[in-house]
Structures are given as structure tokens and as C-alpha cells.
Amino acid sequence: MNTKEMNNLKVGDYVRTKNGIIGEYISDDNEYNDCIVIDDSKSIKQILRNDIKKSSPNIINLIEVGDLITYKKNNIYIEYLCIVSGRYNEITKKVDLYVNDEKLKKLEKLKEIEILSVVTQEQLDDRSYKV
């Protein structure tokens, strides 16, 4: 993250680190100026500011192609587990993120679903057993 983005970081925003940890920014570290404190829903962690890859008040903006998510749609509490994929949009010149809804046999845009949990591709790589 550049300095301008770092200055815009607010308590309550979500951050994604370079090694794939996603957490909510809960405070500055009183002991070290170059650190912040985040809650990754499993524990409270201290991370270096320059380890932050990106931040946003909306967690959906931190999700990348290859991440694994659980979600529900239309307030129906059925959890789906999918890997996020992407398609380049010629009009916006950005990658639109999707999940493949096996039951409906169609792609769902991330903005049209309610995300329940995220496992980043870095976390998958870090914790997977290589055969």
C-alpha cells in the first residue's frame, strides 16, 4: 500500500496482508509506530504497516481470484463453498470476480452474494500438504 492509502486506513476497515491474512483493523500499536493491530476472527495479531497489500471498508474488495469463500444468496441460509474466478471486463478494464453456482448452473458476481467466510489462496498454499 502506498502512503496515501495508509493514511486513509481507518479503524474498522479490513486489510489483506502480503501473506494472505485478512483481518479487521482494530487499533494502532501503542508500542511500535510501524505496526497496527488486527482481528483475523481467530486471534488478535500485530502486523507491520508495510505488510498490508490492500485495505477497504468492504471485505469484498479484498477478495482475489483463487480465494476460497463460503456464501449465501437471497437470504437463503444455504452455504456454498466455491473458489473465486475472474473474467477481464473490456469495458471497465478490470477483472470481475465470480463464483460458479453449481446448483443454478450459472456464474454469480461477488457483489450479488453475501460472503460468510474467506480463505485466501496464500493461506491455502501455506496450509496444504504437498504430495
pLDDT the model gives residue 43: 87
Q: Are residues 117 and 73 in the same domain?
A: yes
pLDDT tens readout for residues 66-79 = 998 888 877 766 67
Last residue in a domain, options 60, 86, 106: 60
- Are 67 and 121 found together in one domain? yes
- Pair 103, 121 in one domain: yes
Chain-centre distance for alpha carbon 103 = 24
- Residue 92 lies in domain: 63-127
Buried b (16+ CB within 10 A) or exposed e, 11-43: eebbbbbeebbbbebeeeeeeeeebbbbeeeee
Answer whether 0.85 is exceeded by the pTM. Answer: no
For 85, phi and psi rounded to 5 degrees?
-120, 170
Tell whether 70 and 121 lie within a shared domain.
yes
| Residues 52 and 76 grouped into a single domain | no
Residues 68 and 123 in one domain: yes
Q: What is the pLDDT of residue 25?
A: 95
What is the model's pLDDT at position 21? Answer: 93
- The pLDDT of residue 101 is 66
CATH for 16 = 2.30.30
Domain count within the chain: 2
Which parts of the chain have pLDDT scores under 50? none
Residues 50 and 77 in one domain: no
Whole-angstrom Cα distance, residue 95 to residue 117? Answer: 21
Q: What is the pLDDT of residue 26?
A: 94
